[in-house]
Structure formats: structure tokens, C-alpha cells
């Protein structure tokens, strides 16, 4: 196994796709970081913007989410080629025919590649360390739990990319076919998200597990156990699929049957994972939670609550209701059920329909109707139905924000100059040593 890991590691560093990805990652992260810090600074009052606008600003939302989002591009458009190169390369040059004769299971061989690729991903995240040091040097505030959460989300996303690329490279005869499969799946997940936004229903449930939705949750500092476990199960399935199809000495029909069995198994596992309700809000500003006093009051309500909201899928009020209230409410009231009622996806021609825009609350035998979609409005209605009076929010509970009116000094030089030059120099030294 040690030799296999060493070989995969050497193969990684021999791959030009990997060096290209590494050299491009710096400028991509830099572009996101510089734009985010500039915007953050301007909203915090730099160059005369209204003072106080950025007071409740969180670096997670203002700086780190956009900076990390560079890795969504890397995961979608660069990293798959590195994965395909490492997994499919053995098949192309014949090394697979040699290595498969060793008494190491196909899954172990794929596992070694996955481990090396995951390490490669962590190496590719080095520009974030530069961003972090720059941010600190500007006097920026950072909150470790939310940074760890967002990084974890992107590592999970990388796991999905590794699994997808490995499976595609194993199933396809040629790397170009594998690349087309991988990109098709990526585009497919975007299509699912798009349809979910229009149709809702089952599409919406599935869309939660697509990479963009996965990353979005972590970028808000939210760790959901169901999403995390389902992602890990999906990644494991991709690796198992790759291992099954790299056994080229096994009849294709048997590999197909085993793949279908693996698919059925992972579907059951993911079904079980979705039952997990636990979630953690790692954000400093508790953007996925109500205040502690509100949460205490809501916990005291044991009667099941049902909400029926008359909003179409694309109605902005529905999105606001979800984001501002229901996402938080589901975390604290696991017995909450929500139903959306609408005749169209846009809602534009339903505005005059009776009850459109109404939110009906049913708590036990009590009911109430409201049209307010803000967190305060929703809570007020629920408290009214339950007869609960929340405590007064303490002053220290309120997130005051970390405005920072400092421009992104030295960032351009580091990300667009030093990083690419350092990577290019490292590649050149290695190339000369090999030549």
C-alpha cells in the first residue's frame, strides 16, 4: 500500500493538469478575495460610503463565502481533469494491467488514488492561507468555527468531484469520454437546481444534495448531518463504482449487476441519512438560528406546528420566508411541517386569487393566518397561537458585526504575481530534475 500511495503521489506531481490547476487556483482565489474585501471595505465606509451600513457585516458572508466560492469553479472545471488523469491514466498507459495482478483489492487501489487526490485538494487550498494572513494583516476579524465549516463544505464538495471523476474515468474507455461524462453530471446538477426552483416538490428535495446547494449551506456556516452523511455516502458510491469498473478482468455484465446493487444500497443509505435531523449553526452571527431567547421559547412549544403558505415557487416572498424564518424554524422545531400551495410556478397571475400570499398556521386546534414573511412576523404569530411570551434578548446576544474599511493591499501582487511565479518555478525545477 505504501508503494501504491508513493506511486500515486508521484503520478500526481507529474501531471501537467495538476500544475495547471495549482497555478490557476491562486488568481481565482485572489480575484474573489480582492473583490470581496473591496466590497466589504466600501460597505464598511471606505471612500465615503454611508457610515454604519456595514455594521452588522459578517466576514463569513462578506469575505469568506465569496473567496471560497472560487473553489466551486475549481471543483467543477479544473479538478475533474486532475482526477481523470490520475485514475484514467493507468488504463491509458497500461499500468492498470500490471497493477491489477497484485493482491490488492480494486477498492484499495481506488482508495489510494482518492486519498492522494484529497491531499492534493488540501494543497490547492493553500491560497486561502494567503487570503487569511492578508485579512489578519488588514485587522480583519475571523471566527474559527465558521471558517472550519466553510472549508469542510468545500472538502466535501471535492470528495464528490473525486468520486465522480473516478467513476467516470473507470467506466469510460477514454479520458475525453470521462471528461464529457463528468461535465454532463455537473451541468445536470445545475439543471436539477433550475427545475427545483421552478417546480419545487421532489426536485427541491433532490436539489439540496447537489454540489451548489451543498456548498451554499456550508457557506452560511450551517452543518446539516443529513447532507453531510448523504454526501459522504454518495462519494463512497462513486469510489465503489470506480473500483467495480476498474476490475477489467471481470465480465462487464457482472460489473453492471454489481453497480446496480451498489446503487440500490447507496439509495437506501441516503434515504436513511435524510432522516437525520441534527444540524449545527457555526456562524458567528447565528444566521441560521433565531436568538437564544426565541429558541428557548420555541422549544417550549411541544404541539406539532403546520404551516401552509400560498406562494408560487418563484415568488420572492417564498424565498424570503424560507431564508428568514423556516430554515431556522425547522432546526428548532423538528415536528414542523410546511406545505406550499400554488397553481403556477411564477405566481404572477395568481396575485388576485383568493388566499394567495396567505400563510396559515395550525398549532393543535388553533389556527391563524398572516401575510408577513419576516422572522419577527412568523415568530409573533406562532407565539400568539402557543400563548408563549419569549424573554427579552440580551444585549450581548446581538451580533454587532465586524466592519473593516481597509482595501485589499498587496493581494494583487501575491495572488496574480507571486503565487503563479512560485508554482511555475517549482514546476520548472521539478521538470529539469526529471529531464
Partner 1 sequence: MTTSPLLTVSGISKTFGRLAAIEDVSFRVEPGEILGLIGPNGAGKTTLFECLAGVLPPSRGQLFTAAGRPLTADDRSSLIFYVPDGIRPYPDQSLGWVLDFAVGFFGGHPDNARRVIESLQLTPLLTQRVGVLSKGQAKRALLAFGLLTPQPVLMIDEPFEGLDLKQTRDAAATLRAHANGGRTLFLSIHQIADAARVCDRLLLLSGGRLRGEGTAAELIGRSGASDLEGAFLALT
Check: CB of residue 117 under 8 Å from CB of residue 162.
yes
Of residues 15 and 388, the one with the C-beta less far from partner 1:
15
How far apart are the C-alpha atoms of 432 and 88, rounded to whole Å? 26
Of residues 8 and 284, the one with the C-beta less far from partner 1:
8
Of residues 12 and 37, the one with the C-beta less far from partner 1:
12
How far apart are the C-alpha atoms of 111 and 365, rounded to whole Å? 55
Nearest approach in angstroms of CB 161 to partner 1 is 23
**How many Å is the Cα radius of gyration of the chain?**
25
Of residues 115 and 155, the one with the C-beta less far from partner 1:
115
Half-sphere exposure of 384 (CA within 13 A, CB side): 12
Of residues 47 and 434, the one with the C-beta less far from partner 1:
434
Check: CB of residue 240 under 8 Å from CB of residue 107.
yes
Interacting residue ranges for partner 1, rule: CB under 8 A: 2-4, 6-7, 10-11, 14-15, 90, 93-95, 97-103, 248-251, 434-435
How far apart are the C-alpha atoms of 178 and 106, rounded to whole Å? 19
Of residues 216 and 426, the one with the C-beta less far from partner 1:
426
Of residues 104 and 332, the one with the C-beta less far from partner 1:
104
Nearest approach in angstroms of CB 102 to partner 1 is 6
Nearest approach in angstroms of CB 253 to partner 1 is 9
Q: Give the ranges where 200-251 is alpha helix by DSSP (H).
A: 201-207, 211-219, 225-245
The distance of Cα 75 from the centroid of its chain, to the nearest Å, equals: 11
Check: CB of residue 172 under 8 Å from CB of residue 242.
no
| Number of C-beta neighbours around residue 6 at 10 A | 12
Residues in CB range of 226: below 8 A, 6 or more apart: 273, 274, 275, 276, 277
Residues in CB range of 247: below 8 A, 6 or more apart: 100, 106, 255
Residues in CB range of 167: below 8 A, 6 or more apart: 238, 239, 241, 242, 245
Of residues 2 and 389, the one with the C-beta less far from partner 1:
2
Closest to 91 measured CA to CA, from 104, 103, 106:
106
And the C-alpha cell for 103?
Answer: 493482491
How far apart are the C-alpha atoms of 410 and 434, rounded to whole Å? 35
Nearest approach in angstroms of CB 180 to partner 1 is 24
Helix, strand, coil content of the chain in percent (nearest 5) = 65, 5, 25
Of residues 84 and 229, the one with the C-beta less far from partner 1:
84
Of residues 9 and 280, the one with the C-beta less far from partner 1:
9
Closest to 211 measured CA to CA, from 161, 265, 260:
161
Amino acid at each position: 500500500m505504501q508503494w501504491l500511495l508513493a506511486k500515486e503521489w508521484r503520478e500526481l506531481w507529474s501531471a501537467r493538469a495538476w500544475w495547471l490547476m495549482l497555478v490557476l487556483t491562486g488568481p481565482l482565489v485572489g480575484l474573489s478575495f480582492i473583490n470581496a474585501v473591496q466590497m466589504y471595505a466600501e460597505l464598511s465606509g471606505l471612500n465615503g460610503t454611508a457610515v454604519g451600513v456595514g455594521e452588522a457585516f459578517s466576514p463569513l458572508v462578506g469575505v469568506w463565502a465569496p473567496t471560497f466560492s472560487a473553489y466551486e469553479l475549481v471543483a467543477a472545471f479544473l479538478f475533474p481533469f486532475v482526477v481523470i488523469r490520475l485514475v484514467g491514466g493507468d488504463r491509458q498507459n497500461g499500468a492498470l494491467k500490471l497493477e491489477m495482478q497484485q493482491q490488492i483489492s480494486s477498492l484499495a487501489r481506488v482508495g489510494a488514488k482518492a486519498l492522494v487526490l484529497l491531499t492534493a485538494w488540501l494543497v490547492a487550498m493553500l491560497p486561502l492561507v494567503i487570503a487569511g494572513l492578508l485579512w489578519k494583516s488588514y485587522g480583519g476579524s475571523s471566527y474559527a468555527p465558521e471558517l472550519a465549516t466553510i472549508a469542510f463544505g468545500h472538502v466535501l464538495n471535492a470528495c464528490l468531484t473525486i468520486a465522480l471523476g473516478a467513476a467516470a474515468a473507470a467506466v469510460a474507455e477514454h479520458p475525453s469520454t470521462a471528461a464529457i461524462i463528468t461535465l454532463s453530471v455537473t451541468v445536470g446538477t445545475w439543471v436539477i437546481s433550475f427545475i427545483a426552483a421552478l417546480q419545487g416538490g421532489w426536485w427541491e428535495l433532490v436539489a439540496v444534495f447537489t454540489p451548489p446547494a451543498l456548498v451554499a449551506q456550508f457557506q452560511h456556516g450551517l452543518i446539516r448531518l443529513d447532507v453531510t452523511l448523504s454526501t459522504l455516502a454518495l462519494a463512497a458510491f462513486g469510489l465503489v463504482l470506480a473500483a467495480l469498473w476498474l476490475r477489467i478482468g471481470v465480465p462487464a455484465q457482472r460489473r453492471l449487476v454489481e453497480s446496480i446493487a451498489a446503487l440500490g444500497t447507496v439509495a437506501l443509505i441516503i434515504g436513511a441519512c435524510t432522516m437525520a435531523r441534527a444540524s449545527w449553526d457555526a456562524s458567528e452571527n447565528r444566521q441560521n438560528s433565531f436568538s437564544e431567547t426565541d429558541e428557548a421559547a420555541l422549544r417550549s412549544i411541544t404541539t406539532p406546528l403546520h404551516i401552509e403558505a400560498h406562494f408560487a415557487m418563484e415568488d420572492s416572498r417564498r424565498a424570503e420566508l424560507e431564508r428568514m424564518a423556516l430554515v431556522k424554524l425547522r432546526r428548532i422545531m423538528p415536528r414542523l411541517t410546511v406545505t406550499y400551495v400554488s397553481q403556477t410556478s411564477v405566481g404572477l397571475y395568481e396575485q388576485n386569487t383568493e388566499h394567495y400570499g396567505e400563510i396559515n398556521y395550525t398549532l393543535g386546534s388553533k389556527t391563524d393566518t398572516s401575510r408577513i414573511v419576516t422572522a419577527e412576523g412568523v415568530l409573533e404569530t406562532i407565539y400568539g397561537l402557543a400563548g408563549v411570551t419569549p424573554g427579552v434578548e440580551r444585549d450581548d446576544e446581538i451580533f454587532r458585526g465586524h466592519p473593516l474599511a481597509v482595501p485589499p493591499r498587496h493581494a494583487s501582487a501575491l495572488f496574480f504575481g507571486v503565487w503563479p511565479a512560485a508554482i511555475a518555478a517549482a514546476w520548472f525545477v521539478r521538470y529539469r530534475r526529471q529531464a
